[in-house]
Amino acid sequence: VLYKEKSPKLNDVLLTLSGCLEFVTGLLSPFMPVKCAEMAAHIDWKIQMPEAGSARKGRPIPGGAILFPAVEK
């Protein structure tokens, strides 16, 4: 899968995701996932379908796909 990589700092990615989790768990609003998506919209994600035997961990999303951060350690 080809994707455009903006190479955001890993720390920025983690802060954005943790901030989303705080919003979702703190307010429990049905609209917060949308806001979370807007907050993380500047991050390029590689979307892959789960593969058998894959050791990589990603962020599961509805539909069975998994979001992998574009940033590689």
Query: Residues 48-60: pLDDT tens digits?
Result: 445 544 445 555 5
Question: What's the domain range around 28?
Answer: 10-50+58-69
In a domain, 28, yes or no: yes
In a domain, 4, yes or no: no
Q: What total of structural domains would you count in the chain?
A: 1
pTM of the model: 0.19
Separation CA 6–CA 43 (nearest Å): 7
Q: How many residues does the chain have?
A: 73
In a domain, 31, yes or no: yes
Higher pLDDT, 4 or 33: 33
Separation CA 43–CA 24 (nearest Å): 19
- 40 Cβ contact partners less than 8 Å away, ≥ 6 residues apart: 16, 17, 20
Distance of CA 30 to the CA centre of its chain: 18
In a domain, 21, yes or no: yes
Instruction: Name the nearest CA neighbour of 39 among 3, 8, 1, 72.
Output: 8
Percentage of the chain modeled with pLDDT above 70: 3
